[in-house]
Amino acid sequence: MIITTAQQLGALLRRARTDAGMTQAALAAATGVSRQWVISAEAGAPTARLDLVIDALRAVGLVLDVVPEEQDDALDEVLGRTRA
């Protein structure tokens, strides 16, 4: 799934949480944040801390995978070197 806005990421987090049968309170406890933070993140708060968003995604069974919009061979080579 391609996510291009904070609102889309928040909606994905909400859907994954509900699919996992978790309440906002349970996700907050698993992530170490307040329920209000979960509400804000699910609403697409543009200022949500990235480390906490990543923790919340992991808590609902998701990982963040970032890829270039357009990837060429030179970029593949650079990315391959940094991953090795």
Model-level pTM? 0.78
What residue ranges do the domains of the chain occupy? 6-83
pLDDT of residue 83: 64
11 vs 80: which has the higher pLDDT = 11
pLDDT score at 2: 86
pLDDT of residue 78: 72
b/e burial code for range 45-65 (CB count within 10 A of at least 16 → b): beebeeeebeebbebbebeee
Euclidean distance between CA atoms 34 and 42, whole angstroms: 13
Say yes or no: domain 6-83 is CATH 1.10.260.40.
yes
pLDDT at position 16: 97
Taking only the tens place, the pLDDT of each residue in 16-74 is: 999 999 999 999 999 999 999 999 999 999 999 999 999 999 999 999 998 888 766 66
